[in-house]
Amino acid sequence: MDKITHISNELRDWILNTLKTGVSPESIANAMIKKGFDPIFAYRTILKLVNNKPIETVNRNRPYVYEDPGIGKKGTIISTSDRDIKVLIRIEKPFILYLENLLSEAECDELIKISRDRLIPSQVVDSVTGEIKTATGRTSSGTYYQINEIPLIGRIEQRIAELTDFSIENGEGLQVLHYRVAEEYKPHFDYFPENKIQESTGGQRIGTVLMYLNDVPAGGETIFPKAGVSVIPKKGAAVYFHYGNSEGQVDRMSLHSSIPVVEGEKWVATKWLRQSKILERF
């Protein structure tokens, strides 16, 4: 992944305020480098700010620049080493693909079976502090799996890597979620607040693979409210949506939610993809 050579107005203001607290310029520059900034750019930026010289910033409020991710260039049938996956629907803004046959029925059933006894209340990433906590807006339960924890997980991870062109090392551990009647996940973004992005943990999230493990009799759709898109869960199918570009922007059109289950239950598996390899895992 290319090193970052731009900063936002918010980051510039944070640097200026941090300098005023007495933190050394070298410490701030080193922190920027650890987060993926080009070393020369980081030191030049700090030097300009110390000397009260203007610097060029990126306006985060300007329109998001859409770029076609690798998966978007593969046509309507995407072949992996163990199955063919069909693109049923493609939406450009935000970038969304509705995929058929990502998982087999047997794989869906097995994921549900092994996850039932591991479920705990779901948590969220606070949009301001970046802290992980429980929240009233997310009422499901879930569990995480380590990379390649069991052969089934390893096989799915390999398939997703071939599908998206993101290496297994760029992916977070697979998460399985369970929604009962009336449970939901209110509108949210999958990407992180800018001040909580760490290079050692893969940087920003830029893509999500959401896999449906069962058919839901009523409710439980995945909604993209800003795009007017509603996806009905279908066993073995998946939604891929991409929300990060090479300029460091994130796509606010990717706002999405899981509306309440009306009848039955809903099981999904989620794989979040990072902009670079995850060096530290928890």
pTM beyond 0.85: the answer is no
**Residue 111 · residue 104 · CB < 8 Å:** no
**Do 25 and 148 sit in the same domain of this protein?**
no
Query: Is 103 within a domain?
Result: yes
pLDDT digits (tens, 9 = 90+) for 256-265: 999 999 999 9
Q: Is 15 left (phi over 0), alpha (psi -120 to 50) or beta?
A: alpha
pLDDT score for 173: 96
**Do 50 and 83 sit in the same domain of this protein?**
no
Q: How far is CA 144 from CA 1, 118, 147, 176, 282, in A?
A: 27, 9, 10, 6, 11
**Residue 274 · residue 201 · CB < 8 Å:** yes
pLDDT score for 266: 98
Query: Is 279 within a domain?
Result: no
Low-confidence ranges of the chain (pLDDT < 50): 127
Residue 43's domain comprises 1-62
**Do 230 and 267 sit in the same domain of this protein?**
yes
> Taking CA 90 as the corner, what is the angle to CA 110 and CA 96, rounded to the nearest 5 degrees?
65
Query: Is 112 within a domain?
Result: yes
CATH number of the structural domain spanning residue 175: 2.60.120.620
Q: Which of residues 41, 62, 83 is at a domain's end?
A: 62
- Using the structure block, give the residue that is written with the tokens 């640097």: 15
Query: Is 282 within a domain?
Result: no
**Residue 252 · residue 124 · CB < 8 Å:** no
User: How far apart (Å, rounded) are the C-alpha atoms in residues 31 and 29?
Assistant: 5
DSSP string, 53-93: -----B-TTSPP-----GGGGS-SEEE-SS-EEEEEEEETT
- Give the chain's domain count: 2
**Do 161 and 88 sit in the same domain of this protein?**
yes
- State whether the Cα torsion 164-278-235-133 is positive or negative: negative
pLDDT score for 166: 96
Q: Distance of alpha carbon 274 from its chain centroid, rounded?
A: 7
**Do 214 and 256 sit in the same domain of this protein?**
yes
Q: What's the one-letter identity of residue 195?
A: N
**Do 186 and 241 sit in the same domain of this protein?**
yes
pLDDT score for 127: 47
